Amino acid sequence: MTKLSRYFEPKFSWLALPFAAVFFIFFVIPLFLTIIVSFWDYNDYSIIPDLIFENYIYIFEGCFQFDADLCMTFKTYLSTLYFCLLTWVLTLLIGFSVAYFLAFYVKTIPVQIALFLICTIPFWTSNVIRMVSWIPLLGRHGLVNDTLIFLGIIDTPVEWFLYSEFSVILALVHLYTLFMIVPIFNSMMRIDKSIIEGAYDAGASEIQILTNIIIPLCKPGIVIGSIFVVTVVMGDFVTIGIMGGQQLASIGKIINTEMNYLQLPGAAANAVILLFITIIIIITMTKFIDIRKEL
């Protein structure tokens, strides 16, 4: 009986079929179409199949005259990379410190879980509302300005708290530090505690343990978190839009604007370039680790 039923055992691989179909229809095909359409022509109301390079040429127009000012495209990319870098450094420092506290200073598992959930719950709430909630704090007559004036530190309200590069980066850090905490915390929890006890017994200080044991062993978590944060900021247009008061440029916003004007092939060309740069960043980062081993 058992043998017979084993013979008719269902193969389980087909269970992945619906899952795979979703990614084929809503991920693989769309990306291919984006690449194809980036070589198409368009007019005011329709897109026209073609094989032209104008969309790309247009993007880099005037970018290679090195005597002139930086072109719009390069400026936008530089500013996006600048947002990436700052957000990355801040989320890494904050995320690492939080994970370090949770993993090595909190002793009991229930407390650990509770504190971890405190970090996670905002992730399940609305991003837009989390951005809006900075307005009463950072606005012209916001809490921060009022407090600073009350304390006599400044005389007139600081204008650059809101709708500025500062507020964009603040919101990005606010929204995405969790992407650092989770993988780094995961890496830390996998470190065998006896290694650390051993290092203590051998006379190592806390700082030595941190730099010689914990940081090297957390490398995979740091890399995964960094990939998340960098990619999410590279393509961002919502946070930069809302927190930048629709005044700052980013690649994501360019694509978004072009789409609103139905310049789809132009948007596609920009998307291909953005994708290309993102892939380069990811490949550079993943050179070191096997993501699957980290779960």
Partner 1 sequence: MHRTGSRGFYFFLIFFILFALFLYGPMFSIILLSFQGPDGGLTFPMNGFSLHWFGELWKGAGVVDIGSAFRRSLLLGFVVMVLTVVLSVAAGLAFRKNFRGAELLFLTTIASLIVPSIVLSLGVALEFRLLDETIKWFGNWFEIEKIIYDFQTTLGMFTSGMGTQLTWTLPFGLLIMFAVFNRFDKSYEEAAKDLGATQWQTIREVVLPIIAPSIIGIGLFGFTLSYDELARSSQVMGATNTLPLELRGLTTTVTTPIIYALGTITTLFSFAVIGTFFLAFWLLSRSRSKALR
C-alpha pair distances (Å), 5 with each of 1, 13, 14, 15: 6, 18, 18, 19
Task: Tell which positions 110-149 bind partner 1, by CB under 8 A.
Answer: 115, 118-119, 121-122, 124-137, 139, 141-143, 146
49 or 216: CB nearest partner 1 = 49
Task: Tell which positions 243-272 bind partner 1, by CB under 8 A.
Answer: 246, 252, 255-256, 259, 264, 267-268, 271
12 or 64: CB nearest partner 1 = 12
CB of 193 to partner 1, least distance (A): 6
Rounded Cα–Cα distance for residues 100 and 213 (Å):
13
67 or 294: CB nearest partner 1 = 294
- Binding-site size for partner 1 (CB under 8 A) equals 93
Residue from 63, 71, 228, 249 that binds partner 1 (CB under 8 A)? 228
C-alpha pair distances (Å), 57 with each of 68, 77, 271: 18, 16, 14
Residue from 19, 64, 66, 150 that binds partner 1 (CB under 8 A)? 19
Cα 22 from chain centre: 23
Task: Tell which positions 146-185 bind partner 1, by CB under 8 A.
Answer: 146, 174, 177
Rounded Cα–Cα distance for residues 146 and 167 (Å):
17
Rounded Cα–Cα distance for residues 38 and 132 (Å):
35
Q: How far apart are the first and last CA of the chain?
A: 38
Cα 140 from chain centre: 29
**Of residues 253, 284, 285, 287, the one with CA closest to residue 270:** 253
Residue from 25, 57, 70, 111 that binds partner 1 (CB under 8 A)? 25
63 or 163: CB nearest partner 1 = 163
CB of 62 to partner 1, least distance (A): 24
Task: Tell which positions 48-87 bind partner 1, by CB under 8 A.
Answer: none
User: Of 54-62, 63-71, 97-105, 215-223, which segment contacts partner 1 by CB under 8 A?
Assistant: 97-105
62 or 280: CB nearest partner 1 = 280
3-state secondary structure of 92: helix
CB of 66 to partner 1, least distance (A): 29
Q: For the residues of 7-62, what is the DSSP string, one character each?
A: HTPPPSGGGGHHHHHHHIIIIIHHHHHHHHHTT-EE-SS-EE-----HHHHHHTTT
21 or 62: CB nearest partner 1 = 21
CB of 67 to partner 1, least distance (A): 33
